Amino acid sequence: MATNKSDEIAWPNFPAYAVCVVSGRHVVVGGGGGAAKTGILNQFELYELYHDGKKTKAERILTHDVGDYCISNMAGWANNSTAARNTGAYNISLAIGQEERCSILQMKPDRGIKSPRVEENIPRMSKDGKDLGNVRQRRGDSKEEKDMKPPTPHSRREKRLRLNSVNETLRGEKIWTYDVEEIANVETVFKKEGLEDIYQKCCRVFPDQKHLVTGGMDGYLRVWNLPNMKKIKEIKAHDKEIDDVDVKPDMKQIVSVSKPNRECCVFNVSDGKKFTQVCLQTNGVKYKCFRARYGKVENKQSQTRLFTISNPVSGSKNPAIVAKWCGRSYKEEKTVRLQGTLSSLALTDDGRYLATGTMGGDIYILISFSLQQFRLIENAHSMFVTGLEWLPTKDKHSQMVRGFSDASVVSISCDNTVNIHHVPRQEMLPVWIVALIAAFVLFVTFVLASYVGI
């Protein structure tokens, strides 16, 4: 088990409750202070990720105010055309939940502007080599950097060329600005007897990006056409509120979680009928399911599994449970117990890794197949982890953003930080060691052959 501190990449001016990775290099974070006049705005921010040659960073390219109500849940997607991938100019769509309503927003690329250079100490030099002071100094530079002697004009020119090369190769020459347009705004949760407060608690977009499923306080799953938000299906899923929802990759089933009822149920999309309810075997200890996500089976992308996180109903003596279920029969396949109260869940698009956050701010990264703990990131946030999203694993822009890592997960919290955590590539033997081993094997083979007289 490895332990690693997190890297902070952004600092929104609001508590973050929802995060979406919409492309290999674009992340949307939403939240706010709610209807109370606290001075904290209700906003979402669009970040463009890049790698400066040392670490992953984020550039905020859009901040959008959404009005009087906080963004409590969100789903995002982008067009994946060849032109968009080549230029980085994605048409990005968002479904944002605010109180009992859901809005569909579309962000269209407006124009590309020249990206700023990486902020490092670059002294201005006269022709005779005299130091004229720093052009820009990044806040928080160490004392050692400040005390460094100014370089010669030749070394300064080499440094500028290196910085330009890093920027243009790993970040791109341009970043895009975006115009935001509201396409639809509909009520997705409705009042019923005995229910005072109504609001949407979760939403997920279908893999084909043509439909959206929502869940809320009234216990109904509703499926909507995109982008006009015309309702096409309504499923009575639970007696009480729906806290989480996900869509199976083949789009034939929906899983929903109701914490008050301690239920995790699967419904058929075609007829809306309940297919099954998954139940943990806990030897009499009461648990409630908190989150559920589908994940593909690694190297068998046509097959899927369901993953859930559950917390004990009362007391903190019993550990939380991460469970893996068969994607067809929904039989329990494997469980692992973790310390802390789990709050969020996400899986990589290839099904290889699972990440779950805790109420204490820690993040566990597990290998999905075995549920083996791969990494524990302690104190990733100072407050509970409100959201996790993995970057796409095969996207070329994502691979450049991640640097030398197998996968990367973005995390958010109410502590006003956005962090990224990398899964390092499995280390390989250096070439010289392989050559040395090969030479040794040949030597031993030659000695043995000589000994037996071959």
Instruction: Please state the pTM of the whole predicted model.
Output: 0.81
Model confidence pLDDT, tens digit, residues 2-13: 445 568 999 999
Is residue 125 within 8 A of residue 132, CB to CB? The reply is: yes
Q: Is the pLDDT of residue 219 over 70?
A: yes
Q: Is the pLDDT of residue 133 over 70?
A: no
Which domains does the chain carry?
2-115+173-424 (2.130.10.10), 123-171 (no CATH)
Is residue 222 within 8 A of residue 214, CB to CB? The reply is: yes
Is residue 26 within 8 A of residue 46, CB to CB? The reply is: yes
Q: Across residues 226-254, what is the average pLDDT? A: 96
Q: Across residues 220-230, what is the average pLDDT? A: 97
Is residue 355 within 8 A of residue 365, CB to CB? The reply is: yes
| C-alpha pair distances (Å), 140 with each of 4, 51, 120, 144 | 22, 19, 11, 11
Q: Across residues 426-453, what is the average pLDDT? A: 76
E-assigned strands of 150-210? Answer: 174-187, 200-205
Mean pLDDT of the chain: 85
Q: Which residue has the tokens 């670490």?
A: 55
DSSP codes, 193-209: TT-----EEEEEE-TTS
> What count of Cα atoms within 13 Å lies in the side-chain half-sphere of residue 243?
20
> DSSP label at 94?
E
pLDDT above 70 covers a percentage of the chain that reads: 80
Q: Is the pLDDT of residue 157 over 80?
A: no
Read off the pLDDT band of 303 (50, 70, 90): very high
Residue 153, Cβ neighbours under 10 Å: how many? 15
